[in-house]
Amino acid sequence: MEISIAVLSAGIAASAAPLLLAALGETLTEKAGIINLSLDGTILLSAMTGFVIAARFDSLPAGFAAAAATGMLSSLVLVIISIYLGQSQVAVGFALTFLCRDLAYFLGAPFARTAGPQLSISPIPLLADLPFVGPILFHHSLVVYSSFLALPLAWFFIYHTPQGLILRCVGENPEGCWARGIRPRIVQAAYTLIGGALVGLAGAAFSLAIKPGWGRPQGCEGIGWIALALVIFGGWHPLRVALGAYLFGFLQMLGILLQDVFPTIPAQIFQVAPFPLMIFTLVLIHLGRNSKGKKLLLLRLLSGNAPGSLGKNYRQV
């Protein structure tokens, strides 16, 4: 079988798009010092609402809006119980991820395996005809283009705008921000909600574009955990997080390709394999970073520190 690099790269860009959106959303949230562990459930729930609303009103924008709203609603629970009522972010996130998952299956059951709209490929005129680069970058659906746009935007926002500075300050030292007249809880709540909206969009990106349709399983189960791992092992830097997302996309494409090469090995193995491979790749990078690896330039580039107050609730006096 002939595999062209252009087709492979285009596949990676497409399959990594929702993961990238979710991971960037979580990066924003964690930069403000809040861990939103509910990603896996939230992606599933918003995939369901996105699909159902889009099918009911026969409108893709309505579907994406509903998914983003679902993501915000789910993170609102975290905002209330953790940021404002001081309960453990990890505990709330865990409970929320299981609640959202079952809620998605429960509410979505009547819509399983029904027909619904699907985002089509919209090639960018002229650019899509460029040799090699065209099919990789400019022959996709709007979801993939928005993931391409979200990455530099997130990077620029976090590191080169006054709002980004406030975001990072709150994550590092909320008490200090309070002293400077910034209200840390409002900032944390805002970025938790914005992150939730991006996670919601990632859910709709699955059910309306990458793996269209709704069912049990939908096919996006487990992605939320990968997104969470990417943020942590990517050192809370959007560009490294993106690198991880494309690596996962590569592993998934590889699984699909190898399935044809080794027909005797059951397909289920290839579907599951990218998940442990990804986690352990990240772990290996992490291990290398902790030990003597500091001298290697590559590993130094990959390392990053957690926001100072990550996971701790700010107690306002």
Partner 1 sequence: MDSSASVSRAGSTLLQVIGIMILAAGAVCLLLIALDFSPTAIVGAMFSGSLTSWLKFSQTLSIWVPLLLCSCGLLFTFQAGLWNIGVEGQVVMGAIAATILLRLPETTLPPTLILIGSLTAACIGGSLWGILAGLLKNRGGVNEIFGGLGLNFVAQGIILYLIFGPWKRAGIASMSGTDIFARDLWLSMPAGWRVAPIALILAISVFLFSLLLLNRTRFGLRVKAVGINARAAQLFHIRPERYGLLAILIGGGMAGLAGGLQVIGVYHRLIPAVSSGYGYLGLLVVMLAGYKALPVPLITLFFAWLAAGSIQLPIMLQIDSSLSGVIQGACVLSALLVHGLRSVRQR
Give the binding site for partner 1 (CB under 8 A).
37, 77, 80-81, 84-88, 90-92, 94-96, 98-103, 105-107, 109, 222, 225, 228-229, 232-233, 265-266, 268-269, 272-273, 275-276, 279-280, 282-283, 286-287, 290
Q: Please say which residue, 219 or 222, places its beta carbon nearer to partner 1.
A: 222
Q: How many helices (DSSP H) and strands (DSSP E) are in the chain?
A: 14, 0
Q: Please say which residue, 118 or 281, places its beta carbon nearer to partner 1.
A: 281
Question: Least distance from C-beta 98 to partner 1, angstroms?
Answer: 5
Task: Give the burial string for 99-116 (b: 16+ CB within 10 Å, else e).
Answer: ebbebbbeebeebeeeeb
Question: Least distance from C-beta 156 to partner 1, angstroms?
Answer: 29
* Half-sphere exposure for 132 (CA within 13 Å, toward CB): 1
Question: Least distance from C-beta 46 to partner 1, angstroms?
Answer: 16
Q: Please say which residue, 15 or 74, places its beta carbon nearer to partner 1.
A: 74
* Half-sphere exposure for 226 (CA within 13 Å, toward CB): 30
Quick one: tokens of 258?
């190898």
CB of 76 closer than 8 Å to CB of 193:
yes
CB of 183 closer than 8 Å to CB of 52:
no
Question: Least distance from C-beta 222 to partner 1, angstroms?
Answer: 7
> One-letter amino acid identity for 96?
L
Q: Please say which residue, 88 or 122, places its beta carbon nearer to partner 1.
A: 88
Q: Please say which residue, 22 or 81, places its beta carbon nearer to partner 1.
A: 81
Question: Least distance from C-beta 266 to partner 1, angstroms?
Answer: 4
Distance CA 30, CA 312 (A): 11
Question: Least distance from C-beta 99 to partner 1, angstroms?
Answer: 3
Q: Please say which residue, 287 or 296, places its beta carbon nearer to partner 1.
A: 287
Which candidate, 211, 172, 233, 203, places its Cα nearest to that of 100?
Answer: 203
Distance CA 11, CA 223 (A): 17
